[in-house]
Amino acid sequence: MSHLSRISTGPSFRRVADWNQASHGVGLAELDHDHNLIFIALGTLENELRFLRRGATLPKTVKFLDHLTKRHFAREEHLMERLGYPKTGEHREQHGLLTAWMDAVLPSLGEVRRPSYDDAVIAYLSDWWHVHNHRHDKDYGQYAGERFAEDRFAEASSILSECSLYQFAE
């Protein structure tokens, strides 16, 4: 599969897949929960753009996705640092590239009135999460499993509780 899915002006299929344990699970319940929520937010954004176009709730959906993404990245980076995961810098860089892209592109969803543009944005996000999950997130999940052995759930939960998904900026 190419990094960017085929772009058309009106796909008859959904680009955003449902999160599922077998395909996307990283082995840590809290982070699987984060990923599940992000996939739901992505699917909501896709539906909103397709069926409502730029409805009144679009800015809220974008803000929700933005919040979930940034808090989730903060949680992963916090855990990776505490674990001493050797690829933390590289992983953080991947997160930084996506958040910079989102900051630059998502505001224009309300300005560029072309279905093909909306579709390209959703295709990019959908592909990014798929590739990142398989190449990067599963790798720290495996490292955590080896590092914590049978206590991994309790120790990872304890570290992640220091950095909540639901912490909002003042």
What residues line the site for Fe ion (CB under 5 A)?
Answer: 76, 137
Query: Is the CB of 95 or the CB of 119 nearer to Fe ion?
Result: 95
The per-residue b/e assignment along 118-155, b for 16 or more CB within 10 angstroms, e otherwise, is bbbbbbbbbbbbbebbeebbeebbebbbeebeeebeeb
Return phi, psi of residue 112, to 5°: -85, 110
Q: Let me know: does 18 contact 130? Beta carbons within 8 Å.
A: no
Of 5 and 133, which has the nearer Cβ to Fe ion?
Answer: 133
Query: Nearest distance from residue 152's CB to Fe ion, in Å?
Result: 17
Nearest one of 15, 72, 4 to 42, comparing CA atoms? 15
- Minimum CB distance to Fe ion smaller for 26 or for 45: 26
- With beta carbons less than 8 A apart as the criterion, state whether 8 and 116 touch: yes
Smallest distance, Fe ion to C-beta of residue 154, A: 20
Work out how close the CB of 136 gets to Fe ion at its nearest, in angstroms, rounded to a whole number. 5
What's the min distance (Å) between Cβ of 168 and Fe ion?
19
11 three-state secondary structure: coil
Q: For Fe ion, which is the closer residue by CB, 48 or 137? A: 137
Question: Which residue number is nearest to Fe ion in terms of Cβ?
Answer: 137
